Structure 1
Amino acid sequence: MPVKLLKPADEAYQYPLLIKQLLLSSERYGANNEIVGGNNGKRYSYAEFNQRVQRLANMLTEQGVKQGDVVAVLDWDTPRYLECFFAIPMLGAVLHTVNVRLAPEQIVYTMNHAEDKVVLAHDDFLPLLAKVKHELVTVEKYIQLSDSDTPAEPALATVGEYERLLAAALPEFDFPDFDENAIATTFYTTGTTGNPKGVYFSHRQLVLHTLTLAATTSMNDNMQLMQASSVYMPITPMFHVHAWGVPYVATMMGLKQVYPGRYEPATLLQLFVREKVTFSHCVPTILQMVLSSEKAQAIDFSGWQVLIGGSALTAGLADAALARGIQVYTGYGMSETCPLLSTTWLPLEASDFDQQRQVQERIKTGRPVPLVNMRIIDNNGRFLPHDGEAMGEVVVRTPWLTQGYLNEPEKSAELWANGWMHTGDVGTIDSNYTLQIRDRIKDVIKTGGEWISSLDLENLISQHPDIELTAVVGLPDTEWGERPHAMLTVKADAAVDREQVADHLQQFIEAGLIEKWAIPDSVTVVAEIPRTSVGKIDKKLIRKQLQTAN
């Protein structure tokens, strides 16, 4: 017997899941809250913010933006960017969040590949665009974004400055209904080879992701990240997976939001203290940068909750954060997954745990969030048991996964082989559904027929009292195939060498956590570990640098 389909009355309103629906509740709950710009000190009520979104829609319409057009944004983290998160897709256009930390030739590639029509660019990026303007084949107009009330002459011809154009636009706009499967956003993820790949997300996907993220950050008694009293400040670039989608949640809930502009430790710390920030998210290297800042030593971080993603949260960093009063948690996902897949899940009795047990719980990759179906598979695509021991590639299904790579059908087919999205991560899942990522497939160190997890080694090395950050990679070896190498940053006035690392790891060998052949053959101490454009440790570049040096 066929399934029965819903047959609504002709008069019934067919409610599409569109980003504009997320704005409905912002003024209800956030009437007394502000959206703060650390870049220029300006503050907006939610009523003002909603009006600015409508002005932006009118302004873009006057510039010829229509449904289906792609509008690019090159900006730091500002309230302007948040306005673009809403106004551009609510018009039916596509928001392209350009990764401003890519090399110039890659920025050109992504803007041409996305077919950007109108570009909103901060003063800092206009000189770059002026140099490559002749290479941008689809761009028709530029709009200047300035933090100054008296903007300087732009480096290339624009149709005007954002605030002045906004002030001249009408304050009301009737956003249309359209198909919820319309593309709302696109951005580019960098891989190990070739050009960046474009991923894209629909209104329906972003709304479902927002609702699930809102539930996930408040459903665990010991991880109440976003509530009515929360003050949110992102430390993940807004060009990177919509700042993990959190701005959509914070706006829907009407929370006080603080946008720091360009990330500088002194500014972040000043805003944290002045605005009484309670929740942020970032990659581990950013948290380490904040903790290592000289100004941070005098700050009481009690009450700050930080969700860590992008790279593994090590025991050493988690321990250092907890010691300073920062409640850290792990989140897992990737650009292709919008990004939320799993988070830390602390048991009800977790508040009674000692710090060592707290650390161990918080660094786990976590349990899949609602609506996520997660499995692990072997090399033949067969499902493996959830026993905490079997290790395989993590594959997922959930409503908010990108449906492919923009205009790249072959890579899209690889991503979605056999109807599951392939993450490229190797992990285990235990009987309590807790995922533990062991490594990226490309980063597992294969030595003498055995596999060594670079993440496990990093986690153990990070617990050395003089080590701040570590990255472990495999280097070619004629006898063993590959051998581990550790790159370290250490605390001021500390000296760490290979022998000290080996002595430190001996305790974990005796405890049965690693084998003796996992001890790195070599160690390099550096001032800064190479990072990607979004702040993650760049192991591809590390391997290249080390192999060149040798």
Structure 2
Amino acid sequence: MKDSLIQSTDSAYSYPLLIKNLLQAPLVSAPDQEIVYRGDRRFSYREFAERVRRLASALTSLGVKAGDTVAVMDWDSHRYLECFFAVPMIGAVLHTINVRLSPEQILYTIDHAEDDVLLLNSEFLPILDQIRGRIDTVKDYVLLHDDGPVPDSHLTFSGEYESLLAAASTDYLFPDFDENTRATTFYTTGTTGFPKGVYFSHRQLVLHTLGVLAALSTPAVQGRLHRDDVYMPITPMFHVHAWGLPYIATTMGLKQVYPGRYMPDHLLELIDREKVTFSHCVPTILHMLLKSPLSRTIDLSRWKVIIGGAVMTRALCLEAMQLGIDLFTGYGMSETCPILTLAHLKPEMLDESPEVQADIRCKTGLPLPLVDLRVVSDGMENVSRDGRSTGEIVVRAPWLTQGYLKDHKNSEKLWEGGYLHTNDVATIDHQGYVKITDRTKDVIKVAGEWLSSLELEDILLHHPAVGEVAVIGQPDEKWGERPLALVVPKAGATAPVTEKAILLHMRGYADKGLISKQVVLLRVRFVEAIDKTSVGKINKVALREKYLA
């Protein structure tokens, strides 16, 4: 094929896709809109842009230059949002440190990312004290502090965040550079070994922003994000850029609310007081919010929530819908920036019953614009679009990580065959809706038949005395594997739950043909708590190690 490249006029501007360009529209359309921190600190977008310039000036005065790495350890805050912009806009790399990792894992990520400057919330000083003297790369520490006296620490700080900004110039001019420059790095929450570093360029983050914005703003009603919405993340900003929504909310000029540390009643009070209408979180966080008595006293009927990070159960969806919450699934991974699909309902589906709607809202969803998503067999052949045939989700999109940082072997495995492999097992139906049935490592093979651990968990959660549950495969000489249900009884249940009651509950579904008869081989074990990863997902690797040893 002969290319016919456009001719560029000498004076024409090529307009690289840089993060700085996401800030232009809100400064024109909504300069006085609010960005709120914890309900007691408020900044206009005009002030926000000035603070971004001041932060850039302060960092460069510390010696930060293009190609350096600036790390952040903070709760969700206006400061974090300023770092989302200022750090990559000067050509440096933003490393968002997962504060829920162990001190040893945090040390590994700091050294592996080669952090030059670390912005540190004073609440995390005890973590740094545990790894004192072992951080080799960091040259400067900047203190982030909210209230009260600063705890004692061995660290020497180059300054306090607000003081540095107050003394810095507002005249910083952000340069143009190649849009493929790395903008961010963060680390997947590894369940074995050390976490893997993923990274994204300015171009990828801008395209992800535009792609997700297009998907969220096109529905007529359900799950629609629009300029009158009030946005509050309930997914940590250290985790995949809080799913990229802060970039989208800023581009749209929305009122934004950053809650600091996640505490159920505090989050609900902010939703009520600041009139929050759009959020995102993992199922465990929503479950925690709905357990609070306060959730029954405030109006949640305006609240739209994307659920991701783990499969949303039908029981949780129906509970939220009863309170008027517009709940729907979003799917992606650390490696995918992250959003790939959204479970929006098509217009005719809005007339269906809550039960039918919940089935759709709990699906993985429809691929976003620019996302080439396939469900394939082991031979990379597309499975039938019948909603029953299963295969692995593989994907191409302009915002997928191009590899793991300094890890060629796992990078090639991730991209084997030219598609990014998710390791998620799914179906796809004739309307294009994808539904994850399990992770490839979590499917349970009983007498040659595959059982979905996620499907079993969903059915178990319909039992009124089950609070939480995780299902793993247990080796068995006769059957190959048997499902083992780890059950946390529901607090305040009218009667204690028993293994016999749970097995009768499961057999009822099997007798109706809703699940395989192999479920009669289920074993039940009652536990006080279920291990989770640092971002709230059920940690099945840890559970297998603990209960199958």
**Does TM-score exceed 0.5, indicating one fold?**
yes
TM-score by length of 1: 0.96
Asked if residue 425 in structure 1 is aligned to residue 414 in structure 2, the reply is: no
8 Å contact kept, 2:329–2:361: yes
Structure 1 pair 32/224, CA: closer, same or farther in 2 (3 Å)? farther
* Alignment-derived partner of residue 161 in structure 2: 162
Residue-by-residue CA offset, 1:258-283 (whole Å, 9 max, x unaligned):
11101111211111111111111000
How far, CA to CA, are the matches of 1:435 and 1:536 in structure 2? 20
For residue 423 of structure 2, give the secondary structure of its aligned residue in structure 1. Answer: strand
> Which digits, 9 at most, give the CA deviation of each residue in 1:476-521, with x for residues without a partner?
2222222111223343322222222222223321332211212463
Runs of 4+ in 1 over 6 A off after TM superposition: none
Deviation readout 1:123-170 (Å, 9 max, x if unpaired): 011232233232111111100000127655555111010000110001
Paired with 2:145 and 2:190, the residues of 1 have a C-alpha distance of 32
CA distance in 2, matches of 1:33, 1:401: 32
In the alignment, which residue of structure 2 is the partner of 1:35?
Answer: 35
Counterpart CA distance in 1 for 2:86 and 2:402 is 23
Q: In structure 1, what is the Cα distance between the partners aligned to 2:172 and 2:279?
A: 32
Inter-CA distance 519–283: structure 2 relative to 1 (3 Å threshold):
farther
Task: Give 2:516's aligned residue.
Answer: 515
Alpha-carbon contact 1:144-1:154 (below 8 Å) kept: no
**3-state DSSP class of the match of 1:228?**
coil
Cα distance between partner residues in 2 of 1:359 and 1:437: 15
* 1:224 shift after superposition: 3.8
Using a 3 Å threshold, how does the CA distance of structure 1 residues 445 and 206 change in structure 2: closer, same or farther?
A: same
- In structure 1, C-alpha distance between the alignment counterparts of 2:528 and 2:293, rounded to whole Å: 16
> SS in structure 2 opposite 1:171?
coil
Q: Is 2:403 the counterpart of 1:398?
A: no
The alignment partner of 1:20 has SS state of helix
Question: Which residue is equivalent to 1:445?
Answer: 444
Q: Deviations over 1:448-484 (max 9, x none)?
A: 2111001111122222233333221112222222211
Given that residues 468 and 490 in structure 2 are in contact (C-alpha distance below 8 angstroms), is that contact kept between their aligned partners in structure 1? no
Residues 484, 519 of structure 1: 8 Å contact kept:
no
Partners of 1:203 and 1:169 in 2: how far apart? 25
In 1: Cα distance, 2:266 partner to 2:372 partner: 40
* Alignment check: 8 A CA contact 2:204 2:399 kept: yes
In structure 2, the partner of 1:498 is 499
1:528 maps to 529
Write the mapping of 1:110-259 to structure 2, written as runs, cut at 5 A.
Answer: 110-148=109-147, 151=150, 155-259=154-258
Residue matched to 1:16? 16
User: Partner residue of 1:317?
Assistant: 316
One-letter amino acid of the structure 1 residue matched with residue 21 of structure 2: Q
- Tell me if structure 2 keeps the 8 A contact 1:185–1:200: yes
Deviations 1:412-466 (A, max 9, x none): 0000001000001111112221111110001111122111001111122222233
8 Å CA contact 2:185–2:198 kept in 1: the answer is yes
| Alignment-mate amino acid for residue 136 of structure 2 | V
- Once residues 89 and 396 of structure 2 are traced to their aligned partners in structure 1, the CA distance between those partners, rounded to angstroms, is 27
Counterpart CA distance in 2 for 1:521 and 1:383 is 32
Question: Mean Cα displacement is larger for which, 496-505 or 209-218?
Answer: 496-505
CA distance in structure 2 between the aligned counterparts of 1:524 and 1:493, rounded to whole angstroms: 19
Aligned equivalents of 1:119 and 1:385: distance in 2?
50
Alpha-carbon separation, structure 2, partners of 1:437 and 1:343: 13
Give the corresponding residue for 1:85. 84
**Could you tell me whether the CA contact under 8 Å between 1:234 and 1:281 is conserved in 2?**
yes
Q: Distance in 2 between matches of 1:20 and 1:521?
A: 54
Shift of the 233–527 alpha-carbon distance from structure 1 to 2, 3 Å rule, reads farther
Contact kept in structure 2, 1:496 and 1:525, CA below 8 Å: no
CA RMSD of superposed structures (Å): 1.6
* Per-residue deviation, 1:523: 2.2
Residue 56 (structure 2) aligns with: 57
Aligned residues of 2:229 and 2:277 also touching (Cα < 8 A): yes
Between 1:379-388 and 1:160-169, the stretch displaced more is 379-388
Answer yes or no: is the 8 Å Cα contact 2:446–2:479 preserved in 1.
yes
Equivalent residue runs for 1:67-78 within 5 Å: 67-78=66-77
Aligned pairs (5 A) from 1:372-411:
372-411=371-410
Secondary structure of the residue aligned to 2:51 is helix
Give, as a single letter, the amino acid of the residue that structure 2 aligns with 1:10. D
Deviation at 1:527, TM superposition (A): 4.0
**What SS does the corresponding residue of 1:116 show, helix, strand or coil?**
coil
Give the TM-score taking structure 2 as reference length: 0.97
1:537 is matched with which residue? 538
Deviation at 1:546, TM superposition (A): 1.7
Whole-Å separation in 2 of the counterparts to 1:378 and 1:353: 33
Using the alignment, how far apart are the partners of 1:73 and 1:105 within structure 2?
Answer: 17
Which runs of no fewer than 5 residues in structure 2 stay unpaired?
Answer: none
Residues 25-34 or 254-263, more deviating: 25-34
Does the CA-based 8 Å contact 2:218-2:224 persist in structure 1?
no
SS of residue in 2 equivalent to 1:135: coil
Letter in 2 for 1:498: E
Q: Is the 8 A contact 1:231 1:255 kept in 2?
A: yes
**Residues 366-377 of structure 1 aligned to structure 2 (within 5 Å):** 366-377=365-376
Aligned to 1:305: 304
* 1:68 shift after superposition: 0.4
Aligned partner of 1:104 in structure 2 is 103
Q: CA deviation at 1:16?
A: 0.2
Task: Give the conservation status (yes or no) of the 8 Å contact 2:129–2:153.
Answer: no
Q: Quick one: distance in 1 between partners of 2:193 and 2:546?
A: 19
Q: Which moved more, 1:95-104 or 1:26-35?
A: 26-35
Contact 2:25 2:252 in 1 (8 A): yes
SS of the residue corresponding to residue 217 of structure 2 reads coil
Identify the range of structure 1 (79-88 vs 150-159) with the bigger mean alpha-carbon deviation: 150-159
Deviation at 1:337, TM superposition (A): 0.3
Aligned to 1:460: 459
Asked if 1 retains the 8 angstrom alpha-carbon contact of 2:103 and 2:130, the reply is: no
Q: Match of 1:307, SS? A: strand
Change in 2 beyond 3 A, CA 1:353/1:280: same
Tell me the number of residue pairs that the alignment of Structure 1 and Structure 2 aligns: 547
Query: Which range moves more in the overlay, 148-157 or 489-498?
Result: 148-157
